[in-house]
A and B are shown apart, each in its own frame.
Chain A
Amino acid sequence: MASVELRNIKKHYGKTSVLKGVSLSVQDGEFLTLVGPSGCGKSTLLRIIAGLEDADGGEVRINGKNVAGVRPKDRNVAKVFQSYALYPHLTAFDNIATPLRMRWLTSIQRFPLLGRLLPETRRIERDIRGEVEQVAAMLRMSALLDRKPGQLSGGQRQRVALGRAMVRHPAVFLMDEPLSNLDARHRVQMRAEIMGLHRQLGTTFIYVTHDQAEAMTMSDRVAVMMEGELMQISEPEQLYIDPDDLRVAEMIGTPQINVVAIEKMAQHAGLYLAFPPDAATMAFRPECATIGKPLDAMLNGIVSMTEHLGADIFVHIKLDDDAGTVIVRTKPDAARHEDGAPVGVNVDRHNVLWFDADRKRIRRQAVKKIAA
């Protein structure tokens, strides 16, 4: 078990800057998710923590120790890869046993054929077998140990990859989009298993994904990355309710948060809301709005589409004056609206988030000050 601390990590490939000074600290035993669109540098950051790539600036501390120059295998971190990265010519058993063989056996004992004859080798191999079987039992894949990766399904390969990471009891688990090659059903199932594994092992997990749903459901804390910068780190709920940046707000939550430019709505909404002076956009979640009578509301428009999802109904409303489309979430027992019907949208003003022209959040205290 270990904490991980990143201080001002920088990395560039040629002229493009991939990481622009990322600082982050992960507590011992925490499940932290790095989420962001592809190309935001999250996987690079993971490789830097593992020591597979060197940072151009900044330092990585694992358990308080600067690990600059420490080779990947000596950092006591394990990684699960998106492509699983299993050795295709070895059986599941040998795949899982590899990290132990490399650590416990000397190079003479690993020597082809001859090494097997040493009595010491046999004893260690027996220990390794025991460890591998224990891990396999934990992942419920004992029956699959004799198969090669080519004969396993995606979910089974993922288990082997997890087993190979677990077997040497690393201080930190790094996971690089481990579920993105699985189909939807297996993904939800593996999500639960990984969470269970975290609880069982109590080890530090750093998990990279581009799927906000994975980030929100699995982690203790979520770090949102964009364009090589850390935008916000907080608990999943906090991230949803209280985003620091418009891009974070847009990334988290399905359907997306509604965003309306102030200049498009000034005429009528001004009656209802006091804008902070720097505000460029307002945003609100689909469940924070209600549909009311037309012309009488904060925002007005016509219904363009209705999505029935069983428990929820998403009403898409095209706003007047080309102010864009907003989505309002209603319950099946609420009044229905025909496509093309003029409606009004009301938002409780405590639930409105304001953002300035740089897409940074303007906090409510500031709003109150203006109002007073």
Chain B
Amino acid sequence: MTPLSLGRTGKIVRHAVLITTALFALIPFIWMLSLSIKPESEIFQRSFHLLPSNLSGLNNYAAVFASAPIVRFLFNGVVVCGAIFMLQLLVSIPCAYALAKLRFRGRDTLFAAVLVVLLIPSQVLSIPHFIMLHHASLLDTYGALILPWVFSAFGVFLLRQFFLTIPDELIHAAQLDGMSEAGIIWRIMIPMSGPVIAAFGIFSVVSHWNDLFWPLIALRSMELSTPALGILLFRDEELGRQFGSLMAATTIIVVPLIAFFLMAQRRFIDGLTIR
């Protein structure tokens, strides 16, 4: 009997515990979906029903597309998150390679510095970032949303740990075959790092897609808003107290993220599994 194998009761208890905790995470989402398809009149009913009595609630979705520039918000989200992720890779991969595979004076100190940056909450840097972007006259542009996130300590850390597992002999072989350091990164390290890059991609895209804090500080114009900020800005002006439409809008911005996760899921799990 392995330590993890339990009797029948044990299994039931285990599943009960897991289902309960899973529900804690899921209930807000279920509620969101439920509200998004209810007509306004049913939302504030005294009794709670998961499903609405009629389908007129689907008008909430129509209302969102009609009254809010939701497509524009989604487009902004894709541009900003895509640019952030690409630039993060452009910076993190060479950094991680150098920290993992090259020998130079001060390498360990630099890596320690990366670990320290990992501990700093991003909010701490928001005021310096704001001031710097102000001096560069970049506030209220895509640049303001993208540039502060180009260096990702987490990305450097994750990729470095993975690069360490790639044997030195492979790099030696590549050197003898005539590759430069850049060639080794492009031809060897990146093709072998698919799972880790996918894992990092999920972390990066999810956190920036959902970020409300920074866009709220850096932006004023609605046409540049990312989805999360867009909903917030729009709430007061148009949708006001219409919770049904608000929840429908929220659903619309969450769905692409879930689709993205499901696509990258298998590679994502591979990337986080220690081999």
Q: Say yes or no: is B176 at the interface (Cβ < 8 Å to chain A).
A: yes
Residue numbers in A under 8 Å from B172 (CB-CB): 47, 50, 52, 72, 79, 81, 85
Which B residues lie within 8 Å of A79 (CB)?
A: 172-173, 176
Query: Which of these, A50, A72, A87, A103, contacts B188 with CB under 8 Å?
Result: A87
Which residues of chain B from 163 to 198 have any CB-CB distance to chain A below 8 Å in the complex? 167, 169-170, 172-179, 183, 187-188, 191-192
Query: Apart from A52-B175, A72-B175, A86-B173, what 17 extra A-B contacts exist at CB < 8 Å?
Result: A52-B172, A72-B172, A73-B175, A73-B176, A78-B176, A81-B172, A82-B169, A87-B170, A87-B173, A87-B174, A87-B191, A88-B192, A102-B177, A102-B178, A103-B178, A164-B173, A164-B177
> Is A77 on the interface with B (CB-CB < 8 A)?
yes
- Report which residue of B169, B173, B175 has the largest number of chain A beta carbons within 10 angstroms of its beta carbon: B173
Interface string of B134-174 (1 = CB under 8 A from A): 00000000000000000000000000000000010110111
7 residue pairs bridging A and B, Cβ less than 8 Å apart? A52-B176, A73-B177, A79-B172, A86-B173, A87-B188, A99-B176, A164-B177
Q: Does B183 lie within 8 Å of A102, measured CB to CB? A: yes
The answer to whether B191 touches A89, judged by C-beta atoms less than 8 angstroms apart, is yes
Question: A98 interface residue, CB < 8 Å from B?
Answer: yes
Q: Min CB distance, B272 to chain A, in Å?
A: 20
B236 shortest CB reach to chain A, Å = 48
Q: Are B173 and A85 in contact (CB under 8 A)?
A: yes
User: Are A99 and B178 in contact (CB-based, < 8 A)?
Assistant: yes
Residues on A with C-beta less than 8 A from B179 are 73, 102
Q: Which 4 A-B pairs have the closest CB atoms?
A: A102-B178, A73-B178, A85-B173, A85-B169
Q: How far is the CA of A232 from the CA of B174 in the complex (A)?
A: 33
Main secondary structure of the interface of B (DSSP, over half): helix
A contact residues around B169 at 8 Å (CB): 81-83, 85
What is the size category of the interface that chain B forms with chain A? 10 to 19
With contact pairs A47-B172, A79-B172, A85-B169 given, residues A99 and B177 touching in the complex (Cβ less than 8 Å): yes
A residues 89-143 in Cβ contact with B at 8 Å? 89, 98-99, 102-103
B residues 238-260 with Cβ under 8 Å of A? none
Residue of B nearest to A52 (CB): B172
What's the least CB distance linking A271 to chain B, in Å? 57
Residues of B that sit less than 8 Å from A by CB: 167, 169-170, 172-179, 183, 187-188, 191-192
Report the minimal beta-carbon distance from B185 to chain A, rounded to whole angstroms.
Answer: 13
Over the window 307-319 of chain A, the binary record of Cβ atoms lying under 8 Å from chain B Cβ atoms (1 yes, 0 no) is: 0000000000000
Quote the shortest CB–CB distance from A128 to chain B (angstroms).
Answer: 13
Report A36-61 CB contacts with B as 1/0, cut-off 8 Å.
Answer: 00000000000100101000000000
Task: Tell me the minimal C-beta distance from A88 to chain B in angstroms.
Answer: 7
Residues in B with CB closer than 8 Å to A85 are 167, 169-170, 172-173
Question: How many Å from the CB of B177 to the closest CB on chain A?
Answer: 4
**Cα distance A81–B173 in the bound complex, in angstroms:** 8
Distance in Å: Cβ of B176 to nearest Cβ of chain A: 5
Query: Complex: how many Å from CA A87 to CA B179?
Result: 13
Interface core residue of B178, B183, B188, B192 (most chain A CB under 10 Å): B178
Chain A residue nearest to B176 (CB atoms) is A72
Cα distance A83–B188 in the bound complex, in angstroms: 16
CB nearest to A74 among chain B residues: B178
Identity of the chain B residue whose Cβ is nearest the Cβ of A53 in the assembled complex: B172
In the bound assembly, the distance between CA atoms of A293 and B138 in angstroms comes to 101
- Cβ distance A54 to chain B, nearest Cβ, rounded Å: 10
Which of chain A's residues have a CB closer than 8 A to the CB of B183? 102
Per the bound structure, the CA–CA distance linking A153 and B108 in Å amounts to 39
Q: Render A60-84 as a binary contact track against B, CB cut-off 8 A, 1 for contact.
A: 0000000000011100011101110
A72-B179 Cα distance, complex, nearest whole Å: 10
* A52 proximity list for chain B (CB < 8 A): 172, 175-176
Contacts of A73 in B (CB 8 A): 175-179
Q: Report whether B192 and A77 are in contact in the complex, using a CB–CB cutoff of 8 Å.
A: no
CB distance from A276 to the nearest CB of B (A): 47
Q: Which residue of B lies closest to A102 (CB)?
A: B178
Minimum CB distance partner of B172 in chain A: A52
**A78 / chain B contacts, CB cutoff of 8 Å:** 176
Q: How far is the CB of A332 from chain B (nearest CB, A)?
A: 46
Q: Provide the residues of chain B in CB contact with A99, threshold 8 Å.
A: 176-178
Residues of chain A contacted by B187 (CB below 8 angstroms): 87
Chain B residue nearest to A170 (CB atoms) is B176
Separation of A98 and B187 alpha carbons in the complex (Å) = 10
Determine how close the nearest CB of chain B comes to the CB of A105; give it in whole angstroms.
10
Chain B hits for A47, CB < 8 A: 172
A50 to B175, CA, bound (A): 10
Of B167, B177, B192, the contact of A98 (CB 8 Å cutoff): B177
Q: Mark A5-33, 1 if CB is under 8 A from B, else 0.
A: 00000000000000000000000000000
B178: chain A residues within 8 A (beta carbon)? 73, 99, 102-103
Residues of A close to B173: CB separation below 8 A: 79, 81, 85-87, 164
CA distance in complex: A73, B176 (Å): 5
Q: Which residues of A contact B167 (CB under 8 A)?
A: 83, 85
B176 x A50 contact (CB < 8 A): yes
